[in-house]
Amino acid sequence: MPADAFIHHMPKAELHIHLEGAIEPATLLRLAERNRVALPADTVDGLQAWFTFHDFPHFVEIYLTIQSCLRSADDFSLVAYELGADMARQNIRYREATVTPYTHLLQEKGLAAEEIIAGLEDGRRRARRDFGVELRWILDIHRNLTMPAVANVTTQLALDWVDRGVVALGLSGNEATASAAHFAPWFQRAKAAGLASTPHTGEIAGPSSVWQAVHDLHADRIGHGVRSIEDPHLLAYLLEHQIPLEINPTSNVCLGVYRSLEQHPFIHLLRMGLCVTVNSDDPPLFNTTLTQEFQRLAETFDLDENDLQALTLNAVRSTFLPADEKRQMEEEFVRQIESYREPLS
Ligand SMILES: [Zn+2]
């Protein structure tokens, strides 16, 4: 079977995608109209052109503009539902999406934290009903905001919302702004209460940031972690403990971590036996989808059906679902893949 067809049929799980960064231009237009926010363009094409990221300040500008369009529970419900509709289109059965609540509260748009989770919960429920897909949330501390209030509020919300789909505490933003170790007390608190830890590290900063994630934040997964390739001891540690890496290839190229996909360490990490997963990060901003990430990797690195199956099963095993639900999902994925893949020769 051609790789594209195999990838299209393959059931998928995605672990690293940002709610705000996944909003499609058409949805953003709806939100902007609803909330009377002026956007740089008023058509899907115009917005797509503006969306296509060209440097980091532009990326931040797009992000803040998107956030300013989310103002009510209904808005959060809409974008959560759209995330589910996109899953159905790409045969993604399960997604853990990152939400950054504090930056919404900081924008002083009169939004209460309760409205955020009520909207997310409504969208998640409607997506399950209409598309049969499952969503969970990772609440994210933005490391550019180093004041303790940000980490305090985010961690407390994550703990309060465990029974509304929150599974982990994350850490994003510019790694140059604050070290991962700075956030250790909050991650300790989250872990002690049963939440998982999945900080962004080893993307802009080098291996030392991944070591901090492992030692100080007790990371269960690493967001990105690609620069672990620069430290053989770290690679050995990640291999031994099978700590999954959430790799976002196109995002890494767009943000200049690697000059091209050919130069990306993906294939080395995979062949070394690390638990590598494939993700899309902020798909419309990087002009990609999860399906396209798999396609680009398959083409660039000549991945075969065994590789693709291993990658999709890595994602299932790396979810923050209870063990029995993971096992069930893995069995279901294997059954489906075996129903259409060519017999092993
Ligand atoms: Zn990310």
Whole-number Å distance, alpha carbon 200 to ligand 1 midpoint, is 7
203 is an active site residue: yes
* Residue matched to tokens 């999709």: 312
* pLDDT, tens digit (0-9, with 9 covering 90-100), for 245-276: 999 999 999 989 999 999 999 999 999 999 99
Residue 97: count of CB within 10 angstroms of its CB: 26
Q: Which residues are within 8 A (CB) of 237 and not within 5 positions of it... i.e. 6 or more apart?
A: 214, 243
Residue 287 pLDDT > 60, yes or no? yes
Q: Model's pTM, two decimal places?
A: 0.96
What proportion of the chain, given as a percentage, has pLDDT over 90?
84
Q: Which of 14, 175, 203, 246 is catalytic?
A: 203
Helix axis angle for 148-160 and 184-192, nearest 10°, is 10
Residue 318 pLDDT > 90, yes or no? yes
**Comparing C-alpha atoms, which of 160, 180, 159, 161 is closest to residue 171?**
180
Whole-number Å distance, alpha carbon 225 to ligand 1 midpoint, is 11
* pLDDT, tens digit (0-9, with 9 covering 90-100), for 128-160: 999 999 999 999 999 888 788 899 999 999 999
Whole-number Å distance, alpha carbon 335 to ligand 1 midpoint, is 31
Angle at 339 between CA 248 and CA 298, to 5 degrees: 30
Distance of CA 34 to CAs 31, 78, 100, Å? 5, 12, 22
To the nearest whole number, what is the mean pLDDT of the chain?
Answer: 94
Residue 68: count of CB within 10 angstroms of its CB: 17
Q: How far apart are CA 31 and CA 109, in angstroms?
A: 14
Whole-number Å distance, alpha carbon 131 to ligand 1 midpoint, is 25
Whole-number Å distance, alpha carbon 17 to ligand 1 midpoint, is 6
DSSP state, 270? H
Q: How far apart are CA 39 and CA 62, in angstroms?
A: 10
What is the CATH code of the structural domain delimited by 3-340?
Answer: 3.20.20.140
Whole-number Å distance, alpha carbon 281 to ligand 1 midpoint, is 5
Half-sphere exposure of 123 (CA within 13 A, CB side): 26
pLDDT of residue 51: 84
pLDDT of residue 342: 67
Q: Which residue has the higher pLDDT, 33 or 2?
A: 33
What proportion of the chain, given as a percentage, has pLDDT over 70?
99
Whole-number Å distance, alpha carbon 343 to ligand 1 midpoint, is 37
Q: Give the range among 1-5, 181-185, 242-246, 298-302 with minimum mean pLDDT.
A: 1-5
Length of the chain as a residue count = 345
Residue ranges of the domains in the chain? 3-340
* Residue matched to tokens 């007790």: 218
How many Å from the N-terminal Cα to the C-terminal Cα in the chain? 13
Whole-number Å distance, alpha carbon 60 to ligand 1 midpoint, is 13
